[in-house]
Structure 1
Amino acid sequence: MELPPDSRTLPALYRISSLAGRKDEPRAILLAILKAVIEAVGATSGDISLLNPDTGKLEIEIADETNSAGYDDLSLRLGQGITGWVAFHGRPQLVHDVGLDPRYVRVRDNVRTEMVTPMIGSNGQVMGVINVDGEEPGCFNDTDLELMLILTEEATSVMERHWELQNLRGKERQLQSLISIGQTLVTKLEPEDLFNSLTQDARSITAARACALYLHEPETSGGAARLVAYDGPTPTTLPEGALPLDSCLVASAIHTRRAVEFSNVQSREFVDVIDLPREASLRSILATPLQIEDEIIGVLAIFTDTTHRFNNDEKRLVRALASLGAVALQNSRLYARVFQSEATLRKNEQLTTLGLLAAEIAHEIRNPLTVLKLLFSTLRLEYPDDDPRKTDVRVITEKLDQLEAIVSRVLNFAKAPSSLHSRWNVTDIIEDTLVLIRLKLTQGKIHLRFEPPDIPLVIDVNKGQLQQVLLNLLLNATQVMPNGGTITVSTSVETRAEGGRQVCISVTDTGPGIHPSMRDRIFDSFLSGRPDGTGLGLSIAKRILVSHHGDLELRSTGPEGTTMALLLPLA
């Protein structure tokens, strides 16, 4: 805009332009702008009003300190009053005598002249108005209005830059908070701790009145939501138990798979919903789904204490929190599965040990039992029918046969059923096993390396037993690296001594190695290097592989780490 030949213009523009980049609060900058405008045009009072996006009304943000009486809580609808008209139409107004203008809303009796200019942002939208007053009719002219338009344009540019800078600083703080929250959430393994931490952090970073977390229970008939955490003022009542989705407000976020907001949950239309905390200070709600891939696992609800329209930045922030919460919750569930798998593995080790022990005992009994049967049969003890000893011979023979049948059943039970063997791709078995332990590796700061072979390697095995062996080796590797390290799983094809080819699955760690005194006996039963170890893991693992016509070997060990090799014939 071309500057008018007015000595007031440059000094006033300089005063307003110099406010750009200052770290003052927005109200302080607006007050400085207002004073510069009032002095430049020679007004006696004035104010700056901004549009409230929540109410859609024009509200006085700042008035000059000497003439601010009567401005408290004053708001105008768009089109109401002279300032409302300017905000609605986006055109300036110079009213030489407010008493003759029916649009004027009287606030102070001594106002006679009013000049109002719109603050039009870079997006072309009116975001507020600057208003100045005079106490005499006709105290402003067209030159004053032109000057005020120039100052208003510069003031709008200054405020936009200031708000944008504030917004960037706020986003920086939010990003730092999100990173901190994410680091905290992934350490929460107990679900209750995770739920409470997520709601508390969400309430803090969004400055909300309250925050609630609901879990989605799709397995319930018709679906249900369950409130698992709430942070905010103590409500009259909190919803409990599984809540049917058809009576829940958060169901809309679950069904639509996107954030849904409601402007006032205190209105009558929300009386029948059963999932809201009953607290009179809660007004607007933003419900955002927690989603992992295609599964909705919960809803994060943010409550405000005033009627509020959530902007895109707020929605993005809550969506980021919901994503962090979903990942943390999924991690917690997977950790629980890993711990359960470990417990199952230990139980399987115990059961396998009992079975092997029973098989050993049965095998040791079978040899002398066979000798007894042979020797007894060669005695040819024949007695008359009326001799009681003939009955004794018959009973002894039956009991020897019964003992042999028991021993045979025990030995047959200890064998792995061949019907459970099937052909598997080595890569599939390894990858399925690594899924079970990947979270434990993350928790232990252990890096895993596995590069699948270029061609499929097929083996004929019992998948469950082979996974048990792999899990045992991987868990052993994690336990010898308490401060973190690297586990490398690799595959190769070797030629067997007796002919044919075999696959070698190598598991290498970067631990301290096996103590020299134990290296030759690591596959012995009940030998363990850990106080809490049973000494059965490697012994059982080797027997499983031998039963698959393979073997388990210690390939290398030392200060640089240990390599164990699983050998299995290729199908």
Structure 2
Amino acid sequence: MPESEIVAALAARKQELRKRLCERAGDGIEPQPGSDAELLLDSLCGMAPESYRLAYTASAHRLAEQGGRLEVRLESIQQWNNVLSDAIRVMLSDQPSLASEAQRFLSLLTADVMVTLTRGFQEVKNKQVAEDAEQARRGLTRMEALQRINAAANSILELDQTLQTAAKAVADEMSADLCVIFLFDDITRELQLRATSGPNPSSGHFSLQLGQGYTGWVAEHGHPLIVRDAFVDARFSHEAVAYGEPYRGLLAVPIIFFTMVKLQGVIAVQTKEPRYFSQQEVHFLEIVAGQLAMNIENGQLYEQTDEELRRKVHELSTLHRVSAAVTSSLDLDNVLSMIVAQAVLLSGADSSILFELDPTTDRLRAVASHGFDTAAISNAAVQAGQCCVGRVLHSGEPSMQVDCMRQDVGCFLHGLPDVVGDRHAVLSAPLTTVHGPLGALCVFSSQRHMLNAHQLQLVVTFANVAAIAMENARLFTETREGLRTKEALLREMHHRVKNNLQQVA
């Protein structure tokens, strides 16, 4: 019997078949559109194979994506097949040949539906398995990339070399054409390019302000930025072409040291073609940024510690050299010139003047200087108690001032703008021994803020060394004068004794 006659006979009885399905459901409600029962009935009553296969394939995809069980679904379809088979047998009991052909057609249709469902379900599962395998592979390669970065950070490499290794590892792992790393400078408030996996900007040194370009945007807002085509975005197009050719796809993440909520910089990956980065890629780059934040903080602390150690060694060697000069040289002028020069060098100041107190006039006069025109300050003098120099002599404590040479009319530099120049901050320290004040040491800086405690301690140390040098010179002079006096007395005594002996003879 032709299939078309079977389909026509069943279509004519579709309502009765639907009624039997409702009775089987037990709730008296007709099968919902798109349900297995309704699709099976429509397929039985003339729906084109392409249509029901497409519908069952989509249904199988949804089942697999939602984590459903295929065997439960196939069992349900078999149950609806049984209900329809029984209904056909009853309805066509007076036409046994047609009933037999209709049941055979239903069995073939159900088998086709089950195969379609199984194939669609397996397609999604295979895709999920492939995706899981790819994700596992990605996880492994990303772990290896993180290990490369961590190994570089734990080696003896400098920070810039560590960042360069990180940029290349990230670019390779994310299949990006360029990875750049900017670090934030707390002093200049700028983002400075420190590493790139590809070309450097043609300008060489490359820095951005907060809010400037996509790097500045990420640093200012503190969260990731994804742009499919940065080249066509007016906010970011300038930075997108800074590396010689346009880079379009963009993912940028801030580097934040969360222990102190401190902005360390920005890491960005870019592609030459438009690309929308996934959340998994965002997550990976955030992990890299977190690791870099710790590495950068440790690297900066190491650099600071290393620099501090070198500076301390240099300071100690300089102080030792000056102390040796004080104890070995009787040329006070050379010793004082060395002291004012080294005080400027170690304190980071620009110039200095050493004053000596004349106890007879109670005035301070300049005896050594560094960084000044010697002729301009050779006659510099100030009364004790006046100017910051004279006041520290009375207080016995160091003093720091800003622009006092412009505001204090009693200052020895007041009214001498050519001599003052660009100097603003001044630190004065008294020269004092157990015998009383001997003078004062002043250092000048072009900075418009107070010198720090370490600089203050250095200047005070040099002031003490200068006081010792002056005291030694004074003691040497007094000793030499005492010896001359004794020598004169001895000659006089020798002359008189000789004369007396001659008279006795």
The bucket for the TM-score relative to the shorter chain is 0.5 to 0.7
Match of 1:373 in 2: none
Q: Which amino acid in the other structure matches residue 432 of structure 2?
A: Q
Structure 2 CA distance for aligned equivalents of residues 17 and 152 of structure 1: 14
Q: Which residue of 1 aligns with 2:144?
A: 7
Gaps of 5+ in 1: 21-28, 366-571
**1:48 equivalent in structure 2:** 183
CA-based RMSD of the aligned residues comes to 4.5
Alpha carbons 1:86, 1:117 under 8 Å: kept? no
Q: What stretches of structure 2 of length at least 5 have no aligned partner?
A: 1-139, 172-177, 242-246
- Could you tell me which amino acid in structure 2 is paired with residue 244 of structure 1? Q
Q: 1:238 aligns with which of 367, 371, 377?
A: 377
Which of residues 102, 108, 112 in structure 1 aligns to 2:239? 108
| Cα offset, 1:237, TM superposition | 2.8
Offset, 1:344:
1.5
Alignment check: 8 A CA contact 1:63 1:71 kept: no
Q: Are the counterparts in 1 of residues 353 and 443 from structure 2 also a CA contact under 8 Å? A: yes
1:238, distance to aligned residue in structure 2 (A): 1.9
Match of 2:223 in 1: 93
Q: What is the distance in 1 between the residues matched to 2:237 and 2:479?
A: 72
- Aligned equivalents of 2:378, 2:269: Cα separation in 1: 58
Q: 1:133 aligned to 2:264?
A: no
Q: Tell me if 1:296 matches 2:437.
A: yes
How far apart are 1:252 and its partner, in Å?
Answer: 5.1
Q: Which moved more, 1:166-175 or 1:255-264?
A: 255-264
In structure 1, the residue matched to 2:156 is: 19
Greater fraction of residues in strand? 1
Tell me how far apart the structure 2 counterparts of residues 106 and 261 of structure 1 sit (CA, whole Å): 49
Deviation at 1:278, TM superposition (A): 0.9
SS at 1:6 equivalent: helix
Aligned to 2:194: 63
- What is the CA–CA distance in structure 2 between the aligned matches of 1:137 and 1:265, rounded to whole Å? 61
2:365 is aligned with 1:226:
yes
User: What letter corresponds to residue 470 of structure 2 in structure 1?
Assistant: L
TM score, norm. by length of structure 2 = 0.54
> Aligned to 2:147, what secondary structure does the other structure show?
helix
User: Aligned partners of 1:73 and 1:290: how far apart in 2?
Assistant: 48
CA distance in 1 between partners of 2:304 and 2:294 (Å): 15
Alignment correspondent of 1:33: 162
Distance 2:216 2:186 in 1: 10
Aligned partners of 1:235 and 1:278 also within 8 Å: no
Secondary structure, counterpart of 2:289 in structure 1: helix
Q: CA deviation at 1:137?
A: 8.4
Query: Within 2, Cα distance between the matches of 1:114 and 1:305?
Result: 40
Partner amino acid, structure 1, of 2:363: A
- Whose helix proportion is higher, 1 or 2? 2
Identity of aligned residues (%): 16
Greater alpha carbon shift after TM alignment, 67-76 vs 163-172: 67-76
- 1:51-450 correspondence to structure 2 within 5 Å: 51-52=186-187, 57-60=188-191, 62-64=193-195, 66-68=199-201, 93-96=223-226, 108=239, 113-118=251-256, 126=262, 129-135=264-270, 139=277, 141-206=282-347, 208-217=349-358, 220=361, 223-232=362-371, 234=373, 237-238=376-377, 240-251=379-390, 253-262=392-401, 268-269=406-407, 273-275=411-413, 278-293=419-434, 295-305=436-446, 310-353=451-494, 356=497, 364=504
Q: For residue 38 of structure 2, what is the aligned residue in structure 1?
A: none
CA contact (8 A) 1:248 1:275 kept: no
> 1:96-126 CA deviation, whole Å, 9 max, x = no partner?
4699xxxx999735596542224589xx595
| Structure 1 contact 70–107 (Cα < 8 Å) conserved | no
Separation (CA, whole Å) in 1 of partners of 2:431 and 2:213:
46
| Contact 1:259 1:288 (C-alpha < 8 Å) held by counterparts | yes
By how many angstroms is 1:161 displaced? 1.9
Distance 1:321 1:62 in 2: 41
Contact 1:217–1:224 (Cα < 8 Å) also in 2: yes
TM-score by length of structure 1 reads: 0.48
